[in-house]
Chains A and B, each alone.
Chain A
């Protein structure tokens, strides 16, 4: 990759947008999963 090429900025922008979106999606999925399973485990323990 030639980082000084005129189109390098577009490449970097596209990869940054993708990386941020995917990381947010993964974090959202894992956070929801943890919250739901923790709440379910709590109810099972209470009962």
Chain B
């Protein structure tokens, strides 16, 4: 683990993996979209609008996964003081924020024909909205504080404290009365979705996951280059 956290080793590995990751993402998206529009049947209650599930659920999953990764990386940064850990958390935030926005936007569009309203302040929707605010706050810390060590120290705390929202989101449909449907994949007794829809959903979840990983690797590579650039410019200034 420590070996791969070395920036030089990481860059070598990332450059080798990225072309394959983009290819796998493209194939998974092609397969998933074919399933979503061609093979998947309409729902007996929701009709065609159920197809929004294939982009809404993966976006929500990535929004939560990215924040969990930020919290984990922040914990690693606090314990091991490894510079790549802070970079991993920092670069996951904008990507996670976009997927969080997409989860809320597609959920809102799905809500209109299903619930009869674009928005409702129920437990699941509100907790996802709080997650979006946490993302915005986390990004703002890095943007607003010029001193990188101070920004990293504050951002780590925000990522770790903010991660309490993740179990709240997950169990919000179980503990509160909500318009949002209960969990239908990770539940006791196995998934309650028909296999003809389940495989499409799993392929789309995989497609979003590989897309996130590819974007995260690219962003980490950018962050490493930016830090090297900053060091080189500082060295130039000191040399003059």
Contacts and interface: CB of A to CB of B under 8 A. Distances in A.
14 contacts: A1-B38, A2-B48, A13-B109, A14-B52, A14-B109, A18-B102, A18-B105, A21-B105, A29-B215, A29-B218, A29-B222, A37-B221, A37-B222, A40-B228
A25 B215 contact: yes
A40 B229 contact: yes
Secondary structure at chain A's binding surface: helix, strand, loop or mixed?
A: helix
B78 to A, nearest CB: 27
Interface of A: 1-2, 5-8, 10-11, 13-15, 17-18, 21-22, 25-26, 29-30, 32-33, 36-37, 39-40, 43-44, 47
Nearest to B98: A25
From A17, A21, A33, A39, residue with most partner B Cβ within 10 Å: A33
Nearest to B221: A33
Interface residues of B, number: 35
B106 A17 contact: yes
B28 interface: no
Contacts, number: 91
Interface of B: 37-38, 42, 46-49, 51-52, 55-56, 59, 94-95, 98, 101-102, 105-106, 109-110, 112-113, 211, 215, 218-219, 221-222, 225-226, 228-229, 232-233
A10 B222 contact: no
A11 B211 contact: no
B37 A10 contact: no
A10 B219 contact: no
Contacts of B55: 14-15, 18
